[in-house]
Amino acid sequence: MAFTYRETTGAANDVEQEIIDSGGQALALQADSADPEALRAARLLAVNVRTIFVAIQAALPHFDAAGRIISIGSVLADRAPISGISVYAPTKAAIAGLTRNLARELGPRGITVNTIQRGPVATDMNPDSEDFADTVRSLTAVGHYGQPHDVADDVAFLARVEARFVTGTTWNVDGGYAL
């Protein structure tokens, strides 16, 4: 269950905790329900940031001293080459901020925390064959979309023991998007 509240953080947190304590799932999001833009931002925060945070919390008890946390963000956290991303981009910037702070907190345990900020990658949700794709392609230095394996290869590298000294980074895997 997700719900919004406007000002009373303490009361909202109490309700959220009560639901969780009774075995449910809850997410309190601060947003004025009379403001459509605030509600849209709250939904994106729940999906783009909260899910990563909750997944990390669930995984941490199972990590040993060689644990790796690798999040997938977006280069749009740092760049705005197109309009219409003013609500989406800050959620991706939050992932980068979470990465830097968790790296500091978890470093003493030997756990590394990094984010791959992907650029345009050909997926079902982001096809490289639509009209808009020509515009996106023109914004990359390499002139084409990435493929899922391009991101997967870099995740695999960060998961390796050889990357044990890489932490707190945001690694742009974006084909030179909007340089």
CATH, residue 155: 3.40.50.720
Q: Is 177 a catalytic residue?
A: no
Same domain, 68 and 56: no
- Which of these three, 43, 62, 81, is where a domain ends? 62
User: Does residue 175 share a domain with residue 158?
Assistant: yes
pLDDT tens digits along 18-49: 766 766 555 565 555 555 566 566 686 766 77
pLDDT of 1 > 50? The answer is: no
Q: Is the pLDDT of residue 179 over 60?
A: yes
Is the same domain home to 4 and 89? no
Closest among 155, 54, 169 to 104, alpha carbons compared: 169
The range of the structural domain enclosing residue 83 comes to 64-179
Whether residues 52 and 69 fall in one domain: no
Among the candidates 62, 78, 107, a domain finishes at: 62
75 plus 50 within the same structural domain: no
Q: Taking CA 70 as the corner, what is the angle to CA 157 and CA 95, rounded to the nearest 5 degrees?
A: 140
Q: Does residue 19 share a domain with residue 1?
A: yes
Strands, E, within the chain: which ranges?
2-5, 27-30, 68-74, 112-118, 170-173
- Tens of pLDDT, residues 108-121: 999 999 999 999 99
Nearest in space to 139 (alpha carbons), one of 91, 94, 85: 85
Helices 51-59 and 88-106, axial angle in degrees (round to 10): 20
Catalytic residue selected from 5, 88, 145, 177: 88
Whether residue 90 is found in the same domain as residue 149 = yes
Q: Please tell me the distance from the alpha carbon of residue 82 to that of residue 136, in angstroms, as a whole number.
A: 9
What pLDDT, on a 0 to 100 scale, did the predictor assign at position 17?
A: 72
Residue 46 to residue 60: CA distance in whole angstroms: 20
- Final residue belonging to a domain, choices 62, 89, 111: 62
Domain tally, the chain: 2
Do 58 and 68 belong together in one domain? no
Residues 83 and 126 in one domain: yes
pLDDT for the residue 25: 53
pLDDT reported for residue 147: 94
